Structure 1
Amino acid sequence: MFSKVLVANRGEIAVRVMRACEELGIRTVAIYSDADKHSGHVRYADEAYNVGPARAADSYLDHEAVIDAARKAGADAIHPGYGFLAENAEFARKVEETDIKWVGPSADAMERLGEKTKARALMQEADVPVVPGTTEPVESVEEVKEIAEEFGYPVAIKAEGGGGGRGLKVVRSEAEAEEQLETAKREGEAYFDNASVYVEKYLESPRHIEVQILADEHGNVRHLGERDCSLQRRHQKVVEEAPSPALDEDLRERIGEAARRGVREAEYYNAGTVEFLVEDGEFYFMEVNTRIQVEHTVTEQVTGIDVVKWQLRVAAGEELDFEQDDVEIEGHSIEFRINAEKADKDFAPATGGTLDTYDPPGGIGVRIDDALRQGDELVTDYDSMIAKLIVTASDREECLARSERALAEYDIEGIETIIPFHRLMLTDEAFRAGEHTTKYLDEELDKERIAQAVEKWGPEERGGDDEDEEVTEREFTVEVNGKRFEVSLEERGAPAIPTPDVSAANGGSATRSRPDEATSDDDEEVAIEGDGEQIAAEMQGTILSVDVAEGDDVAAGDVVCVLEAMKMENDVVAERGGTVSQVLVSEGESVDMGDPLVVLE
């Protein structure tokens, strides 16, 4: 077994992996960006290394910086968690070329399954049903129209490297084909550096069912049952459960065995998830996620199998010590993603704040996966998830009742979350009956009910605490050659001061007050002409499209650009009418909260 593992991720998944390591007697190494230097995963690790500025491309996605940190720490393995580099075959291959072990499938297997057209062809060879469509990339609008004529409208155009609804466009008529093809290609290039797309029949109201797989390097493949991930908004999951309330035993058996066949055909090992769409009693392969999933927790709860520990054991060369018949599903488990989002405003990400109160629930059947603690500031540079609440009981009915109790106990103040939305779902007839599909939230649920839930169960405004502090605690962060150390000082009778941030390297040091927002020393100031009204970014993210040009006339409510943040597309609109005098951003550009985007005269 490994002696030291670097976790190439952040937040709750980094802590989840570190906990598994700790139980296996493995020391842990965290990496962090400038924005994350005070984050929970950094506090939890045995040691931590700075890998760059807040922008993910310059830190968590920097291949060389991550591998260099592993070398500095003397780590003998890298676990990628999920997101960031977890499904990056190029990075996996770079790790494989070192003496550091990659905790995941081989780079070759990731490549075979990462491109959707190759994965579809491979699954067909393994006799796994796929949605009718192409197994080769589509180049022209004429091809899209031909496929639509063969299978009937609507059809879906999907980016080869896509996921989470990004790079997916639905074509409902011949008139939409050209525009949707170009949009899907553009998003594929912007998000996944791959403009290739394919086309398949669009299923109107499917269930999203996925099967957890474990496979070792000795040819053993096991499935751990299925999860139902059908409750989604804009193709992003918000609640997952195991087992699915929509599958009977025959379909459950068939879909599990199909997942095993597909993984074996791909010569895949380590943990993975085979995702399917289920409609009218039939199932169709969608994709393979070549990593641990956010919702792996519910599978662990109903099987008693620690998926993350097995990732580490398989990477260390161990053989699975259980047969397929040994896997038993007991009880029911539901995971609620505790996202810092405004549910009543189309799940827009919260833009910051401090956890003034953080008191998660407990008791029998309640598991919390998190990294934040009371007093922490919300880091908005990456994703909106701050925790996961996993509730388990003997059956679904008891699980729903226990979930109501746990969510009512979950006390968070200072940061807006979607807990009120989850509490609403536990009163919703379609969800309680297990009849919801992937379209339910976007197309069927009355949005006014969400607004009422936020008003009913949202946090109350509270005044500040005027209590005088007799003891002032001062925490210092010290970096020496990129490695992080913490120093705590306690002073009695001293005035409180902002937490300082001390960085030291190569014999020098600098001290400054900790900022509210992550800053960069090399930020360039944008020149703004005249006294026009600025339309600024309300959050950090990437410009997906710019919809206006200089000289355009816009009305109040018109979209001027689309900003992608935390895996969500957000329309940036003009609050008043005017003429565009300056466009200060371009497609694909990263922006910070408050950056000017467009100026109106």
Structure 2
Amino acid sequence: MFSKILIANRGEIACRVIETAQKLGIKTVAVYSDSDYKALHVQLADEAVYLGPSSAIDSYLQIDKVIAAAKQTGASAIHPGYGFLSENADFAEACQQQKIQFIGPTASAIRAMGSKSEAKALMAEAGVPMLPGYHGSDQSDESLINKAESLGCPLMIKAAMGGGGKGMRVIHDLAELEAGLAAAKRESLKSFGDDRLLLERFVTRPRHIEVQIFFDQQGNGVFLFDRDCSLQRRHQKVIEEAPAPGLSSEIRFAMGEAAVNAGRAINYQGAGTVEFLLDGNQFYFMEMNTRLQVEHPVTEMVTGIDLVEWQLEVASGLPLQLSQEDLNCTGNAVEVRLYAEDPDNSFLPSSGRIHDLRWPEISDRVRVDTGIQQGDHISSHYDPMLAKLIAWGEDRQQAIANLSEALAGYQQSGLADNRDFLLSLLSEPDFIDGQLSTGFIDEHPVTELNQQKTDLAVAAAALYWQTQSLSEQKRLSQPLNTNQYLPKLMSFTVQEQLWPVKLENKDNKTLVSLPSGQLLLDASVEQQRVTVELEAQKVTCRVVAMPDSQLKVFFNDFSLVVSLPVLSHSQDQIGAMTAPMNGTVTNVMVQPGEEVGEGKALLILEAMKMEHTIKAPKEGVIASVFYQSGDQVEAGASLLSYKDEADVA
């Protein structure tokens, strides 16, 4: 086994690898950029080496710098994690040339699976079922259009070197084809340095099933059962579980054997994942990921195997300790990905400082994988995933219940996240019944908070704010009975609207008057906790004061941010052409003096590896463009302006 390894990654996967290495007595070396100099993975490692500026292309993707860091610290092996250099054959080859063990497959195996088109050809030879499509070398627009027309719609465009949904487009009408090809090529070139594409028939309601495989250097291979990753948004996984629900034993083992055959066809070693589309009882090869997957914890929880430990053992030359017959799948595990994104604003990435952070209680049934801590600044330079919450249960229903309870215990204030969206998905009857497909999230859109929940959250915020104000004034430390200090009139801004709230004492209860009506509550406030009893039901929430005169109210199944009126927006500001998040301007498509129609694309902003198009909120003439391609912008900054109607006249 190795005495010291370098982790060529950041965030939660770097912390995850460090955890197992420490368990095995292996020293660890972290690498970091300007943004990550105080990051958790840097603090947990035994040593840390600076790589460069925050941009990944100038730091984490610099092969020479990573290799130099390993040699400088005496690390004999490098674990690439996932993302960044994990599936870069040149990096694996560079490690070999410098006599540093790459903890992963060989460069030849990575290359074989790195091109989706070449991978599909190899898999077809190995007898793995394939979807009809085009994976050829002629990448001219004319050729791609001809092939697409022969395949017909619906059609999937994919980046040949892609992953994570980048360079992927679904075409439902051939009229969309030319624009879809151009967008997919542009995104593929930006993400992978290669604009080659492949085409496949699009299955309208498939499931996304993947099989975890493992091979040692002696040629022994096993599959560690399957995972369902069907719940996706923009082709990126949101909820994963193991084992995949509702599979017959025949399909399960046929997929497992096909996955092992896929690995054997390229002399694979280490951890890998073979991904399939399941259409009824027929499955088709999608791609093979030559690395550890983000969702590997669910496999670990149902098999009891530390996959990172297996990676380290196999990379050091040890054979697999278990055969296929020795492996068991016990219970069920479900994982959610917590992202810094705003579900109420088209899931735009969110960046900023984490003001307050609480995790659920960890146990043998609940696991948290993260690389963040309170006070961290979440940068727009990297993937917006904050953490993964994973729960195990004796059966699927118990696993879902355990995960829902754990997710309710996670509370983060400071930037938008998808906690409430995930809670909503976990409670969907179709999800609980296992009615899964890759279109599930589109078919179950985010719904706004109902009036009752909004009223209750605003009432709790008002009670908390009044009590805290009085506590400060009177310097009290004991719990307060809020009914003593009424009446009180105050106002909040809720979802861009002003909400006057009046608190009064009535029959030893609190009467809360809101724009939508009145609530009569038994209420108490103790520190951050507000307890209210409404219609014989007692509910407790937590209220966190944030910068800029904001309060975030956390209930078990939802949360709400309310602001003091100083933060309210005038109607003139709503819909303005402002930056919705911190990012980089990558393309400006209009000039001052140009006449635009409502909905016209004006500017493209990139943040956290995603493009976001700023569109015209109304017809008019552009007066000014305040930023150019390559400029950094902050959330809320004015990007463009219209000419006044008087000026146009």
Scaled to the shorter chain, the TM-score interval is 0.7 to 0.9
Gaps of 5+ in 1: 468-532
CA separation of 1:240 and 1:329: change in aligned 2, threshold 3 A: same
Which string of whole-angstrom CA distances, capped at 9 and with x for unpartnered residues, describes residues 270-295 of structure 1? 11111111112111111111111110
**Could you tell me which residue of structure 2 aligns to residue 486 of structure 1?**
none
Q: Structure 1 residue aligned with 2:602, among 543, 560, 566? A: 560
Which string of whole-angstrom CA distances, capped at 9 and with x for unpartnered residues, describes residues 443-496 of structure 1? x113325788996999987879999xxxxxxxxxxxxxxxxxxxxxxxxxxxxx
**Could you tell me which residue of structure 1 aligns to residue 293 of structure 2?**
293
Percentage of pairs with the same residue: 44
Alpha-carbon distance, 1:156 to partner: 1.7
Alpha-carbon distance, 1:35 to partner: 0.8
**Could you tell me which residue of structure 2 aligns to residue 579 of structure 1?**
622
**Could you tell me which residue of structure 2 aligns to residue 13 of structure 1?**
13
CA separation of 1:362 and 1:117: change in aligned 2, threshold 3 A: same
Alignment partner of 1:570 is 2:617: no
SS in 2 for 1:38: coil
**Could you tell me which residue of structure 2 aligns to residue 522 of structure 1?**
none
CA separation of 1:46 and 1:347: change in aligned 2, threshold 3 A: same
**Could you tell me which residue of structure 2 aligns to residue 179 of structure 1?**
179
Alpha-carbon distance, 1:147 to partner: 3.1
Which AA in structure 2 matches 1:578?
V
Alpha-carbon distance, 1:145 to partner: 4.4
Alignment partner of 1:165 is 2:206: no
**Could you tell me which residue of structure 2 aligns to residue 133 of structure 1?**
133
Distance of 1:40 and 1:406 partners within structure 2: 22
CA separation of 1:116 and 1:47: change in aligned 2, threshold 3 A: same
Which AA in structure 1 matches 2:392?
T
Which AA in structure 2 matches 1:179?
A
Gaps of 5+ in 2: 473-574, 644-649
For residues 39-188 of structure 1, the aligned pairs below 5 Å read: 39-188=39-188
| Larger RCO: 1 or 2 (CA < 8 Å, sep 6+) | 1
Does the aligned pair in 1 maintain the 2:229–2:237 contact within 8 Å?
A: yes
Alpha-carbon distance, 1:551 to partner: 4.0
Which AA in structure 2 matches 1:446?
P
Does the aligned pair in 1 maintain the 2:29–2:73 contact within 8 Å?
A: yes
Does the aligned pair in 2 maintain the 1:424–1:450 contact within 8 Å?
A: no
CA separation of 1:77 and 1:244: change in aligned 2, threshold 3 A: same
Aligned residues: 533
**Could you tell me which residue of structure 2 aligns to residue 330 of structure 1?**
330
Does the aligned pair in 2 maintain the 1:540–1:590 contact within 8 Å?
A: no
SS in 1 for 2:5: strand
Alpha-carbon distance, 1:557 to partner: 5.0
SS in 1 for 2:124: helix
Distance of 1:561 and 1:203 partners within structure 2: 33
Alpha-carbon distance, 1:3 to partner: 0.9
CA separation of 1:357 and 1:116: change in aligned 2, threshold 3 A: closer
Distance of 1:189 and 1:454 partners within structure 2: 45
SS in 2 for 1:389: strand
SS in 1 for 2:377: coil
Which string of whole-angstrom CA distances, capped at 9 and with x for unpartnered residues, describes residues 74-122 of structure 1? 1111111111111111222212210211111111111110001100000
SS in 2 for 1:167: coil
Distance of 2:137 and 2:593 partners within structure 1: 38
CA separation of 1:179 and 1:580: change in aligned 2, threshold 3 A: farther
Distance of 1:197 and 1:458 partners within structure 2: 49
Which AA in structure 2 matches 1:239?
I
Which AA in structure 1 matches 2:299?
T
Higher-Rg structure is 2
Distance of 1:376 and 1:358 partners within structure 2: 13
**Could you tell me which residue of structure 2 aligns to residue 406 of structure 1?**
406
Does the aligned pair in 1 maintain the 2:159–2:197 contact within 8 Å?
A: yes
Distance of 1:397 and 1:373 partners within structure 2: 31
SS in 1 for 2:133: coil
Q: CA RMSD in A?
A: 2.8
SS in 1 for 2:420: helix
CA separation of 1:540 and 1:412: change in aligned 2, threshold 3 A: closer
Greater CA drift, 226-235 or 146-155: 146-155
CA separation of 1:374 and 1:427: change in aligned 2, threshold 3 A: same
**Could you tell me which residue of structure 1 aligns to residue 389 of structure 2?**
389
Alignment partner of 1:447 is 2:446: yes
Alpha-carbon distance, 1:182 to partner: 2.2
Alpha-carbon distance, 1:267 to partner: 1.3
Alpha-carbon distance, 1:414 to partner: 2.7
Distance of 2:452 and 2:256 partners within structure 1: 37
Distance of 1:454 and 1:166 partners within structure 2: 37
Does the aligned pair in 2 maintain the 1:351–1:538 contact within 8 Å?
A: no
CA separation of 1:574 and 1:195: change in aligned 2, threshold 3 A: same
CA separation of 1:553 and 1:248: change in aligned 2, threshold 3 A: same
Does the aligned pair in 2 maintain the 1:157–1:169 contact within 8 Å?
A: yes
Distance of 2:456 and 2:351 partners within structure 1: 20
Which AA in structure 1 matches 2:622?
T
Distance of 2:346 and 2:409 partners within structure 1: 25
Does the aligned pair in 2 maintain the 1:216–1:269 contact within 8 Å?
A: yes
Distance of 2:103 and 2:360 partners within structure 1: 31
Greater CA drift, 313-322 or 357-366: 357-366
Alpha-carbon distance, 1:180 to partner: 2.0
Distance of 1:301 and 1:53 partners within structure 2: 37
Does the aligned pair in 1 maintain the 2:380–2:607 contact within 8 Å?
A: no
Distance of 2:316 and 2:337 partners within structure 1: 31
Does the aligned pair in 2 maintain the 1:246–1:435 contact within 8 Å?
A: no
TM-score normalised by length of structure 2: 0.77
CA separation of 1:138 and 1:454: change in aligned 2, threshold 3 A: farther
**Could you tell me which residue of structure 1 aligns to residue 353 of structure 2?**
353
Distance of 1:389 and 1:20 partners within structure 2: 18
Which AA in structure 1 matches 2:327?
V
Distance of 1:143 and 1:47 partners within structure 2: 52
Q: Structure 2 residue aligned with 1:548, among 590, 595, 599? A: 590
